[in-house]
Each structure stands twice: as structure tokens, then as C-alpha cells.
């Protein structure tokens, strides 16, 4: 299989996996529905918006913390695997060979990259949610101003 076809396949798999993660998060946190408002419920949404910004900012910070912990764990695993290939492997390898050929194909490193990538998607979801709630506040303000001005 040519290299480009393999890369496309991996990208497709990653895209599908990302869509699954986002779908799970949207089911748990229906941001689209939460950011909708109308003339009837705008007062309730205004009161709720500040709470949602704080809530989702806290969730974002938790996800960022998880990301940094996973990144530290990945670095530890990469260092352990590097040491294994450098000192305990059957062949004598140069550092460049280890980094370029062995670490990239190591199953533990690949698994940690997958976990890290999933966590990054979760973090990005909550970043978007916080931005959506901030934008919702401005949209409601503009909507109320236009009602007052009779536009």
C-alpha cells in the first residue's frame, strides 16, 4: 500500500474517532440547544448564561489538567522506551534511529498518543463551549438592544 493511502486511512480513522468523541460529548453536553434563546426565554437564559460560562470554564480547566497529566505520563513512557531501545535491545542503536524508527512504532507510545489525542479533542470541545456561551451573552445583548430600538 502506498504511503499516502495509508496516511489517508489513518486520517479517516482519526476523523471517525474524533466524531465519536464529539458525539458523546454533545450527547452529555447539548451545547447547541443550550445556546439557543428566544424572546420568551431570554431572561432565564441571561441568568443561566453566567453560570454556564463558569461551569464550562471549570470543565475546561479540568480537561486541561488531565491533558497535562497525560502528556507527562507519555513523556515518562517515551523515556522508558528510549532507555529500553538504547540499553536493553538486542541491537546497538543510535539515538536518531531510536527516535525516528523505533519510538514511533512502539505500541505503548502509539497507545499514549491515541489517549493524548482523545484528551486534546475533549479539551477543544470545552474551549468551543466556553466561547459559545460567551458569544451567546453578546448575542442576547444585541438582541435586546435591537428590541429596545425597534429594529
Exposed (0-12), middle (13-18) or buried (19+): which is 2, by Cβ within 10 Å? exposed
How many Å apart are CA 14 and CA 123, to the nearest integer? 16
From first to last of its 151 residues, the chain has per-residue pLDDT tens of 444 444 455 678 889 999 999 999 999 999 988 888 888 888 888 889 899 999 999 999 999 999 999 999 999 999 999 999 888 887 888 888 888 888 989 999 999 999 999 999 999 999 999 999 999 888 888 888 887 887 5
Output the pLDDT for position 7: 47
The model carries a pTM of: 0.80
Lookup: cell for 103: 519510538
Give every CB contact of residue 36 below 8 A, 6+ residues apart in sequence. Answer: none
Percent helix, strand, coil in the chain, to 5, is 85, 0, 15
Output the pLDDT for position 88: 84
Measured CA to CA in angstroms, residue 113 lies from 19, 30, 70 at distances of 17, 28, 9
Give every CB contact of residue 22 below 8 A, 6+ residues apart in sequence. Answer: 121, 125
Amino acid at each position: 500500500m502506498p504511503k499516502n493511502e495509508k496516511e489517508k486511512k489513518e486520517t479517516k480513522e482519526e476523523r471517525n474517532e474524533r466524531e465519536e468523541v464529539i458525539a458523546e460529548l454533545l450527547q452529555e453536553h447539548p451545547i447547541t440547544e443550550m445556546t439557543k434563546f428566544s424572546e420568551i426565554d431570554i431572561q432565564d437564559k441571561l441568568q443561566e448564561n453566567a453560570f454556564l460560562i463558569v461551569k464550562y470554564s471549570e470543565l475546561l480547566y479540568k480537561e486541561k489538567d488531565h491533558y497535562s497529566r497525560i502528556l507527562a505520563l507519555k513523556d515518562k513512557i517515551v523515556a522508558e522506551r528510549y532507555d529500553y531501545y538504547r540499553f536493553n535491545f538486542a541491537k546497538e542503536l543510535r539515538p536518531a534511529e531510536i527516535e525516528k524508527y523505533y519510538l514511533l512504532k512502539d505500541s505503548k507510545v502509539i497507545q499514549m498518543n491515541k489517549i493524548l489525542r482523545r484528551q486534546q479533542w475533549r479539551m477543544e470541545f470545552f474551549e468551543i463551549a466556553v466561547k459559545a456561551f460567551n458569544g451567546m451573552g453578546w448575542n442576547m445583548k444585541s438582541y435586546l438592544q435591537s428590541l429596545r430600538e425597534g429594529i
